[in-house]
Amino acid sequence: MNNIDFLKDFPVLRANENGERLVYLDSGATTQKPVQVLEAIEKYYKVSNANPHRGAYKLSIDATQAYDNAREKIRRFIDAEFSKEIIFTKNATEGFNLIASSYGMNNINEGDEIVISIAEHHSNLIPWQIVARAKKATLKYMYVNENGEIPEEEIKDKITERTKLVSITHVSNALGTINPVKEITEYAHSKGAKVIVDGSQSVPHMKVSVRDLDADFLVFSGHKLLGPMGIGVVYGKKELLEIMPPYIVGGDMIEYVYEQEATFAELPSKFEGGTQNVEGAVGLAAAIDYLENIGMDKIDEIERELTSYALEKFQEMPYVKLYGPKDLSHRGGIISFDIEGVHPHDVASVFDSHGVAIRSGNHCAQPLMRYMGINATCRASFYFYNTKEDVDKLIEATKKTYEMFLKWR
What's the number of CA atoms in the CB half-sphere (13 Å) around residue 12? 15
DSSP SS3 for 261: coil
Give ∠ CA 137-141-143 in degrees, rounded to 5.
170
Q: Can 378 be counted among the known catalytic residues?
A: no
Distances (CA, A) of 341 to 55, 273, 310, 361, 405: 62, 51, 21, 16, 8
- The CB density around residue 145, as the number of other CB atoms within 10 Å, is 10
H or E element that contains 155: helix 152-158
Instruction: Round to whole Å and give the CA distance between 72 and 89.
Output: 15
| Most distant CA pair in the chain, distance | 74
Instruction: Round to whole Å and give the CA distance between 203 and 220.
Output: 7
Exactly one of 139, 248, 265, 364 is catalytic; name it.
364
- The CB density around residue 330, as the number of other CB atoms within 10 Å, is 16
DSSP SS3 for 372: helix
H or E element that contains 321: strand 320-323
Closest CA to 405 of 334, 339, 352: 339
Instruction: Round to whole Å and give the CA distance between 318 and 268.
Output: 53
Instruction: Round to whole Å and give the CA distance between 92 and 9.
Output: 26
Q: H helices within 48-109, ranges in order? A: 58-78, 92-99, 105-107
Instruction: Round to whole Å and give the CA distance between 301 and 206.
Output: 9
Q: Which residues are catalytic?
A: 364
